[in-house]
Every structure is written in structure tokens, then in C-alpha cells.
């Protein structure tokens, strides 16, 4: 197997202000399926094309935002072997016991210099309601709402993103398909990192305040589905940010909107296939508008300042 | 029932029903004055102080509106509906946007917002 170590961002726990409103949004608008609701009130959901038990965890809290994102790794051995490398790089590692989330084995967690909590895990049960395996149909039943097929990636805002790049690339063997340079010096304003063939599994923008969430993205199949998502946003009076449009960076077709607690969501289709031997695509600071919003060719203030 | 909302910073006045939030009322009429963010009580961009009048409010993210804020009648316009005529003052971090024609900033402003 050529694809080793970290496989993908597999779990994300998001804080919401009102669980009823959040369930309506993630289930009926995005089209995720509820897997289970547990005694502590957390609600577990998944996209129709995901095999694992769940991918999205909603937790009702006093503040919106990101609790953590967890990456699935290829083996228990990797999970054991990576821990001392993380510690040697300088991060403190803690342990989350198996069963803290239903169907999920032991996890390890640490906080990046950007203020974001990252976790790694290997074991997770297969979902009862999983995509077909033997002579599989394209789907088991027609998805609801936008029909988001999976949790795809996230964009985090925080300080020290250069350190985050170093950590992901040197310790977890990610690579960097794309970046936006700062107007002066060697640093980056924004970086796109991946462990896979996707143009990004996680991205960062340099920002003063640590631990902020810019958006959580879900995959759609094509541009038509992005258009249908825009229809659903208007039909249901969902808070729209921008789109449908396209990114210069990653080349994805996209629409941004907000969940009822103000967490930004993206539904996304397309984008190029990344390989670790490709050059890092670079955007000069004075081209960042086109990089982020390829059709508008200008950044809006909201993209840079509206975070949870 | 419709009430009159006055944005003190810009002297903008618009009607807002008790079924709408202060932000919805403003946006729907194409008015400007209160910065528009997530519209869900999460990001804190539409922070205003209610200087006169009464209102009802829904849950707001504690990380952007503290208990001290609420006691000073500092709230998020996206989570408040009027129950009388109101005067509000924009006190959010995007206050500077009020002085420009629109929310698209120059590159210098973008670099300040993103980096500093």
C-alpha cells in the first residue's frame, strides 16, 4: 500500500448554541444522516458515502466553534509510533480512552501552536448504514438536502501557521499543495496541507487569535450539486456567505454559508488531484483575491474576519 | 408591529418588525450600518449597544458577548428583535467599515485584518 500513516480528517466535533436548530441544519439542509444521540447530548452524524461509524459530532455549548478535528491513521502501530515523534517535536500528548465517542477506539490528542486541538485515532466501527460493498449500487437511497457525501476538510485561523506546516509536514508526513505568500518576508498568509490526493485535508490562515474555525467543508459530486445547494440555501433562508463561485486555489467549485450558530460551512466539488512530487503552487499577496474567489477576484472583509 | 430603529453612528433609520432581528430588518431593506457576519450569534461582528428602547434576545456565543456586555446592553444585532422603537450604536470590531462605502476593503486593510 502506497498510502500510509494519516489517511484523512475523519472526525470533527463542532460546538453549537442550539441543538435542535443544528440538527435541522446538518440533517435536513446539508443532508447528513444522524447515527446516534448519546446521553451527554452529543449528536453523531455521517455523510451517505462514508463507511465509518460517524464523522460529525455536534455538542451544544455556550460558544460556537471547533472542539477538535481527528485524523484517522492506518494502524494501531502507527498510532503507537507517532506519539513519541509528536512529543519529540515539542507537543504534549494526552490520551482519550476508547468509547469516549460511540464506536471509536483510543485517540491521542495535542494542541498545535495555532491553538487548535488535533487528535489521531485508528479504530472506528463500520457504520450500519454504509455504502454498498458487494456489487454496490451508486447509493443506497437518495440523499436528503444538499446530499453532502462526506466531511472533507477544514480551514483554521490562528497564529504560527508556519509552525503548523512544519509539524504536519515533518511529523505527520503531510505535504503542501498550495500557499499564499505574505507581502513581505518568507512567511505565508495561508497554507493548504494534505495527507492524501485531495488538494487539502486541512488549511490555515495566519490570524492573531488562536483556535478559530473558518469553515468545515463537505463534498458534493459536481457543479450541478453546488447549484442545487444554492437553491436549498435560498429556499430555507440559510445565512449565505458567498457563492456559488470557484476557488483559484485548489480550483474547487464552492458555496459558503453558516450553520444556525454561526459556524461557516462549505460545500465543495472538483479541485485538482494533488501529488507529493508536484511543485507548491504559490500565490503572491496581491493576487489573493483571485486565489480565494476566482470569479469575483476580490476578497470580502467577511472572509477574513467572520470566525467562530 | 413595526418599530423604528435608529443607528446612531450613521443616523440611518429603518423599520423593523418584531418578527425580524435588527440585522434582518436592516439587510432586507438594503440598508447599511451594522456589519453583517454569520447572522447566527457566533462570530460577534454585528455587535451593537442598545442605547434606548426594549428588545428580546436569543442565545449568543459567550466567547463574543460576555455577561458584562449583556448588562451594558451590548448584544448581537442578529439575535435581537425589537419590542419598542430602538436606538443602537455599532460597537463591533468592524466599526471602521461604517466609514467606507462598502465592505470590500483595500489591500492595506485586508493585510491589517488578516495579519494584525
Residues A290 and A189 in one domain: yes
What does residue A244 show for φ and ψ, rounded to 5 degrees? -65, 140
Q: What average pLDDT does the structure give for chain A?
A: 96
Contact B40 A307 (CB under 8 A): no
Last residue of a domain, one of A121, A136, A161: A121
Query: What are the chain A neighbours of B36 within 8 Å (beta carbons)?
Result: 302
Chain B residue whose CA is closest to A190: B114
From CA A300, how far away is CA B48, in angstroms rounded? 21
Q: Is the pLDDT of residue B115 over 50?
A: no
HEC profile of chain A: CCCCCEEEEEEEEEEECCHHHHHHHHHHHCCCEEEEECCCCCEEEECCCCCECCCEEEEECCCCEEEEEEEEECCHHHHHHHHHHHHHHCCCCEEECCCCCCCECCEEEEECCCCCEEEEECCECECCCCCCCCCCCCCCCCCCCCCCCEEEEEEEEECCHHHHHHHHHHHCCCEEEEEEECCCCCCEEEEEEECCCCCCCEEEEECCCCCEEEEEEEECCCHHHHHHHHHHHHHCCCCEEEEEEECCCCCEEEEEEECCCCCEEEEEEECCCCCCCCCCEEECHHHHHHHHCCCCCCCCHHHHHCCC
Residue A186 clears pLDDT 90, i.e. is over it:
no
- More confident of the two residues A275 and B101: A275
Please name the residue of chain B whose CA is at the shortest distance from the CA of residue A299: B104
Q: Name every chain B residue with its beta carbon within 8 A of the beta carbon of A264.
A: 38
Q: Quick check: B63 and A285 CB within 8 A?
A: no
Lowest mean pLDDT of A89-93, A140-144, A158-162, B91-95, name the range. Answer: B91-95
Same domain, A91 and A211: no
| Interface check B88 vs A, CB under 8 A | no
The total of structural domains in chain B comes to 1
Mean pLDDT of all residues in A99-122: 98
Residues A155 and A300 grouped into a single domain? yes
Same domain, A17 and A103: yes
Residue B105 is given by DSSP the state: P
Indicate if A38 and A178 belong to the same structural domain.
no
pLDDT at A270 over 60: yes
Q: How far is Cα A94 from Cα A87, in angstroms, rounded to an integer?
A: 10
A302: confidence class by pLDDT, cuts 50, 70, 90: confident
Do A237 and A94 share a structural domain? no
Same domain, yes or no, for A89 and A169?
A: no
- pLDDT at residue A292 greater than cutoff 80: yes
Fill in the DSSP letter of residue B28: H
A200 is catalytic: yes
Q: Is B107 on the interface with A (CB under 8 A)?
A: yes
Q: What CATH code is carried by the domain that includes residue B27?
A: 3.10.20.30
* CA-CA-CA-CA dihedral for B57, B62, B63, B69, to nearest 10: 60
Q: Which residue of B has its CA nearest to A157?
A: B114
Same domain for A158 and A114, yes or no, is no
Residue at grid coordinates 511529523: A171
Residue owning grid cell 480512552 = A97
Is A107 inside a domain boundary?
Answer: yes
CB A32 within 8 A of CB A148: yes
Q: Does A58 touch chain B (CB under 8 A)?
A: no
Q: What is the pLDDT of residues B14-34, one digit of tens each?
A: 999 999 999 999 999 988 899
Task: Look at residue B93 in the predicted model and tell me its pLDDT.
Answer: 64
Report pLDDT digits (tens) over B40-89: 999 999 999 999 999 999 999 999 999 999 999 999 999 999 999 999 99
Which of B32, B40, B94, B112 is best to mutate for the A interface (most A CBs within 10 A)? Answer: B40
Q: Which tens digits make up the pLDDT trace of A236-252?
A: 999 999 999 999 999 99
Domain residues for the domain of B90 are: 2-115
Number of structural domains found in chain A: 2
Residue of A20, A189, A262 to mutate for B, most B C-beta atoms under 10 A: A262
Of A90, A60, A107, A105, the residue nearest A261 (C-alpha) = A60
Question: By residue range, what is the domain housing residue A222?
Answer: 150-305
| Helix/strand/coil for B24 | helix
This model of the complex carries an ipTM of 0.91
- Is there a domain that residue A197 lies in? yes
> What's the CATH number where A87 sits?
3.10.180.10
Q: DSSP class of residue B17?
A: E
pLDDT reported for residue A300: 84
Look at residue B91 and tell me whether its pLDDT is greater than 50.
yes
Amino acid at each position: 500500500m502506497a498510502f500510509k500513516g494519516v489517511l484523512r480528517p475523519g472526525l470533527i466535533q463542532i460546538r453549537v448554541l442550539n441543538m435542535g436548530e443544528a440538527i435541522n441544519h446538518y440533517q435536513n439542509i446539508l443532508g447528513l444522516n444522524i447515527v446516534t444521540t448519546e446521553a451527554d447530548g452529543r449528536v453523531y452524524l455521517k455523510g451517505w458515502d462514508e463507511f465509518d461509524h460517524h464523522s460529525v459530532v455536534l455538542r451544544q455549548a455556550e460558544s460556537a466553534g471547533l472542539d477538535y478535528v481527528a485524523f484517522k491513521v492506518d494502524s494501531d502501530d502507527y498510532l503507537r509510533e507517532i506519539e513519541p515523534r509528536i512529543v519529540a517535536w515539542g507537543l504534549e500528548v494526552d490520551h482519550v480512552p476508547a468509547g469516549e465517542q460511540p464506536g471509536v477506539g483510543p485517540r491521542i490528542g495535542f494542541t498545535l501552536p495555532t491553538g487548535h486541538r488535533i487528535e489521531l485515532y485508528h479504530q472506528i466501527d463500520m457504520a450500519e448504514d454504509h455504502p454498498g460493498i458487494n456489487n454496490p449500487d451508486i447509493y443506497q437511497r437518495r440523499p436528503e438536502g444538499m446530499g453532502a457525501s462526506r466531511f472533507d476538510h477544514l480551514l483554521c485561523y490562528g497564529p504560527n501557521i508556519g509552525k503548523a506546516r512544519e509539524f504536519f509536514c515533518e511529523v505527520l508526513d503531510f505535504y503542501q499543495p498550495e500557499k499564499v505568500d505574505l507581502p513581505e518576508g518568507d512567511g505565508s498568509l495561508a497554507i493548504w496541507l494534505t495527507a492524501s490526493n485531495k488538494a487539502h485535508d486541512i488549511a490555515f490562515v495566519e490570524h492573531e487569535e488562536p483556535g478559530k474555525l473558518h469553515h468545515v467543508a463537505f463534498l458534493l459530486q459536481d457543479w450541478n450539486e453546488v447549484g442545487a445547494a444554492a437553491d436549498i440555501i435560498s429556499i430555507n433562508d440559510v445565512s449565505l456567505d458567498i457563492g456559488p463561485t470557484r476557488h483559484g486555489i485548489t480550483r474547487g467549485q464552492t458555496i459558503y454559508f453558516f450553520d444556525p450558530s454561526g459556524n461557516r460551512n462549505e460545500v465543495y466539488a472538483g479541485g485538482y488531484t494533488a501529488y507529493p512530487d508536484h511543485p507548491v503552487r504559490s500565490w503572491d499577496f496581491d493576487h489573493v483575491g483571485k486565489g480565494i474567489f476566482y470569479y469575483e477576484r476580490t476578497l470580502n472583509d467577511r472572509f477574513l474576519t467572520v470566525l467562530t | 408591529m413595526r418599530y423604528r430603529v435608529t443607528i446612531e453612528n450613521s443616523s440611518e433609520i429603518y423599520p423593523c418588525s418584531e418578527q425580524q432581528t435588527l440585522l434582518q430588518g436592516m439587510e432586507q431593506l438594503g440598508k447599511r450600518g451594522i456589519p453583517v457576519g454569520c447572522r447566527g450569534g457566533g462570530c460577534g461582528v454585528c455587535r451593537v449597544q442598545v442605547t434606548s428602547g426594549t428588545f428580546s434576545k436569543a442565545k449568543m456565543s459567550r466567547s463574543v458577548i460576555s455577561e458584562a456586555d449583556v448588562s451594558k446592553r451590548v448584544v448581537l444585532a442578529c439575535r435581537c428583535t425589537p419590542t419598542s422603537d430602538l436606538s443602537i450604536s455599532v460597537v463591533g470590531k468592524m466599526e471602521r467599515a461604517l466609514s467606507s462605502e462598502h465592505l470590500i476593503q483595500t489591500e492595506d486593510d485586508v493585510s491589517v485584518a488578516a495579519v494584525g
